[in-house]
Amino acid sequence: SRMQRALHTVPRLRQRVVPSVARLAPPEWRVDPAVDLDWHVRSIALPAPGTERQLFDLAAVLCAEPFDRARPLWRFTVIEGLEGGRAAMVQQIHHTITDGEGGVRMSVQFIDFERDAPKPEPVPEQAAAPEAGLFVFTFSRHTLAPALTPIAGEPYAYTEFSGQPQT
């Protein structure tokens, strides 16, 4: 799957923060041997009618939930049931993994842009080996921009959300 490939392409997605003994040194990144995609990639459906307001309210609740520091610091929630047969995805990635712009660019690794998209190429054996976690990718707008380009030459779109649910 695309997410399995992303775990091997972006090593930080399979690493978690481990505090030092007695907190005498900074925390370290360590490979989590038991990354659970079912926990990191969730699915939920909005109740009818599935308005954008309902979507934004749910997104505010999801984003208020802190990361579990015993796991890699990211999670995606696929939200189905939007009006018109649409769906959405809330992508939460801690800033120690990437910044906002880098996260959007990195999403190319995880998202299909077509309903029946071709399967991704298999992960090369050397990238799938645990030793691949020994190198570190640092994502920022400066390091990712040359590596990933927008799909079909289109710029990426950003949607602003105040984060305040309506009552």
> For residue 74, which of 113, 112, 106, 120 has the smallest C-alpha distance?
106
Catalytic residue among 8, 40, 94, 95: 95
The tokens for 15 are 């690493």
d(CA 102, CA 144): 6
d(CA 132, CA 109): 17
Residue 40 annotated in active site: no
Q: How far apart are the first and last CA of the chain?
A: 39
Active site (catalytic) residues: 95
